[in-house]
Structure 1
Amino acid sequence: MSAKLHIKKGDTVYVIAGESKSKEKTGRVLEVDVKNQRAIVEGFNMVKKHTKPNSAHPQGGIIEQEAPIHISNLMLADPKTGAPTRVGRRAGEKGKLVRYAKKSGEEIK
């Protein structure tokens, strides 16, 4: 059974740890790897990758792409203020669990 994560694809997150140029900035989650508890955040943790020529990159060479960041280094950005916040779960309409920001109490879509 996989663990329930506080971050989903499309969320705006605040990077709380890592390299100094990425720390304390916000970005959008592109992908979440639940098994390894990692997420790829747009524009963060950029690495250079050497590639052979292929259909996507006919020239080949060195491309820059995002590398995964462990989710413990990410906090959800509050939808109201944009500040980092912890995430809670509560029953919403129709009894379904919804995520909410603990700082403002605002529901996270």
Structure 2
Amino acid sequence: MNKIRKGDQVIVLTGRDKGKRGVVTARVDADHITVEGVNVVKKHVRPNPMKGTTGGIVDKTMPIHQSNVAIYNAATGKADRVGVKLLADGKKVRVYKSSGEEIKA
């Protein structure tokens, strides 16, 4: 079970974007995620008349390692760690470590 999923609001813990908040837009692989507005780089793009794209410098969101972000707890207004709890019916749910309350997806 992934502790951080697409659509979660996260806070960046380290790096040049430390302290920024954003929404996870995609999981690139098992360890990397892309977060909206975080780790944005300038990319030089060549024009491609076959695809109809113009050249120039574009902003591109690059992946960030999931260990460098923490889920945002709206109740406390801070970053929080994620735990997994087993319910009585056998389902696994994600919970905030600080309060034990379930994370709403």
**Same fold per superposition (TM over 0.5):** yes
Contact 1:78 1:103 in 2 (8 A): no
Aligned residues: 102
Unaligned runs of 5+ in 1: none
CA distance in 2: counterparts of 1:90 and 1:78, whole angstroms: 17
- Which of 9, 19, 25 is the equivalent residue of 1:12? 9
Give the 5 Å matches for 1:12-91: 12-19=9-16, 22-35=17-30, 37-54=31-48, 55=51, 58-91=53-86
Instruction: Deviation per CA, 1:81-109: give whole Å up to 9, x if none.
Output: 23111111112363210001111222112
CA distance in 2: counterparts of 1:16 and 1:105, whole angstroms: 21
Contact 2:72 2:80 in 1 (8 A): yes
Distance apart, 1:50 and its partner CA: 1.3
Query: Residue 83 of structure 1 aligns to which amino acid in structure 2?
Result: K
Contact 2:95 2:101 in 1 (8 A): yes
Contact 1:80 1:106 in 2 (8 A): no
Larger Rg: 2
CA distance in 2: counterparts of 1:93 and 1:51, whole angstroms: 53
Distance apart, 1:26 and its partner CA: 1.2
Which residue number corresponds to residue 91 of structure 2? 96
Residue aligned with 1:9, SS: coil
- TM-score, normalization: structure 2? 0.85
Identity among equivalent positions (%) equals: 43
Unaligned runs of 5+ in 2: none
Runs of 4+ that moved beyond 3 A:
none
CA distance in 2: counterparts of 1:30 and 1:79, whole angstroms: 19
Residue aligned with 2:89, SS: helix
